[in-house]
Structure 1
Amino acid sequence: MTSPIKIDIWSDIACPWCYIGKRHLEAGIASLGADAPDVEIEYHSYELSPDTPLDFEGSTVEYLSAKKGMPVEQVEQMMQHVTDVAAKAGLEYHFEHVAHTKTLKGHELLHLAKAHGKQLEMKERLMKAYFTDGGRVNRIDELVGWAEELGIDAAEARDALESGRYADDVQADIAQARAYGIQGVPFFVIDGKYGVSGAQPAEVFAQALTQVAGERDGEAA
């Protein structure tokens, strides 16, 4: 039996295009229906903005305006555009509630969730928490609560986060991205050989998976 097509994704919890890209990939796979190949998806850590403070007190508009040196009006237009694109992908963004923070602790939780076979569910939960619910993805109490929602023992989650058990794994993912030359996310590596950069439309992912599946069939013939 042919092994599933592996899709490795470098992504940050605080990246609006990463959440959109996640939905586009899911839609691309779903669009293939019965012809969809088996896939195995694994998320890898990436820190989009390492200089983000742990707890920025202020709005998304204020943060981006100061960081990028852009007028407030331009930032608001940019955010509205992203919100509209997200809505078309079925996502509800509330930038007015977003709590800017470093995401490293959230990435550590994703590695713990992977160890429990629940990484995909945790990725979805953390991105919804960040973009829709205004959650603090750096605060251990909140992270433990989301772990509990997915059936992960609270004491284990707290110990893993407080001890930094998965901190080295997070840094290894970031180092691998650097080695690959990845400078922006989302970045998808399909079957270990094809790179797809950005939140491409669903049909791009469908086409890439169809191509890989076809190549595998050719090799097996």
Structure 2
Amino acid sequence: MTDAIKIDVWSDIACPWCYIGKRNLENGLAAASADDDAPKVEVVYHSFELSPDTPVDFDGGEADYLATHKGISPEQAQQMLDRVTGVARDAGLEYRFDLLKHTNTVKAHELLHFAEEQGRQHEMAERLMSAYFTEGRHLGDHDELASLASDAGLDAEQAREALSSGRYLPAVRADQAQATAYGINGVPFFVIDGKYGVSGAQPAEAFSQIVRQVWTERQETADVEA
């Protein structure tokens, strides 16, 4: 039996293109799963902080942050947000930058590693991104994160203790070190089967195509070895 294709995804929960890429990946894999010989796929999310120097309580809106961070005018920043909001809508996501609370994401990444250990990483990633981009939740706040962990099927008190202890920070740093080793300097970034790198929020069809291609390669190799 052919092993599952592993897709390692480097992303930041505060990256608007990462949520779009996540949804496009899911839709692409769903399309491929309808094939007669559907590829088996395992997806694992890894930590990448786009702006590790961001304060937990950022004073200003998302356009203010973009203007300062990228050295552009507030008008240009708003145009960027309007564009990504339109792309997100095409992916079935309703971004609310008017509600968004910009924050440091390291604790959210620690929570994702806690969730992975509990077998709920996918649920946690979805809940965090939805909370951040569509609900205006403060993902730098431990109480908010614990509440979102509960929404994802985890124990809120255990999640709060995990965040307070900082014991998942080394796992976050290990993900970041691996990204550096791979030469990843922007997200989302997808490493498929340990050998194909895909950068950016590609269309769903692109993900369907590559997993089908890798699955066919896997089976051809298995047939030769048999």
Structure-2-length-normalised TM-score: 0.95
Deviation at 1:155, TM superposition (A): 2.0
State which drifts further: 49-58 or 96-105.
49-58
Partner of 1:26: 26
State which drifts further: 160-169 or 56-65.
56-65
Partner of 1:7: 7
Structure 2 counterpart SS, 1:34: coil
CA deviations over 1:120-176 (Å, ceiling 9, x no partner): 010000000110111111111011111112221222111110000101000000011
Partner of 1:92: 94
> 2 CA distance for matches of 1:57 and 1:66?
12
Partner of 1:154: 156
Structure 1 counterpart SS, 2:34: helix
Structure 2 counterpart SS, 1:102: coil
Partner of 1:113: 115
Deviation at 1:44, TM superposition (A): 0.2
Deviation at 1:33, TM superposition (A): 4.0
Structure 2 counterpart SS, 1:6: strand
> 1 CA distance for matches of 2:33 and 2:161?
42
Structure-1-length-normalised TM-score: 0.97
CA RMSD of aligned residues (A): 0.9
Structure 1 unaligned blocks of 5 or more: none
Q: Name segments (4+ residues, structure 1) moved above 4 Å.
A: none
Deviation at 1:34, TM superposition (A): 2.4
Instruction: Work out whether residues 127 and 151 of structure 2, in 8 Å CA contact, stay in contact via their aligned partners in 1.
Output: no
Deviation at 1:9, TM superposition (A): 0.2
| Residue from 185, 205, 208 that aligns with 2:207 | 205
Q: Is residue 2:185 matched to residue 1:183?
A: yes
* Counterpart residue type for residue 44 of structure 1: H
Partner of 2:137: 135
* Counterpart residue type for residue 2 of structure 2: T
> 1 CA distance for matches of 2:27 and 2:17?
15
CA deviations over 1:41-61 (Å, ceiling 9, x no partner): 000000011221111121111
CA deviations over 1:97-140 (Å, ceiling 9, x no partner): 11111100000000010011100010000000110111111111
Matching of residues 28-43 of structure 1 within 5 Å? 28-35=28-35, 36-43=38-45
CA deviations over 1:75-110 (Å, ceiling 9, x no partner): 111110000000000001001111111100000000
Partner of 2:217: 215
Instruction: Work out whether residues 139 and 145 of structure 2, in 8 Å CA contact, stay in contact via their aligned partners in 1.
Output: yes
Deviation at 1:67, TM superposition (A): 1.8
* Counterpart residue type for residue 172 of structure 1: A
Partner of 2:17: 17
Partner of 1:54: 56
> 2 CA distance for matches of 1:34 and 1:201?
18
* Counterpart residue type for residue 217 of structure 1: Q
Partner of 1:170: 172
Partner of 1:103: 105
> 1 CA distance for matches of 2:33 and 2:113?
30
* Counterpart residue type for residue 63 of structure 1: Y
> 2 CA distance for matches of 1:56 and 1:80?
21
Instruction: Work out whether residues 2 and 219 of structure 2, in 8 Å CA contact, stay in contact via their aligned partners in 1.
Output: no
> 2 CA distance for matches of 1:61 and 1:176?
31
* Counterpart residue type for residue 140 of structure 2: N
Partner of 1:82: 84
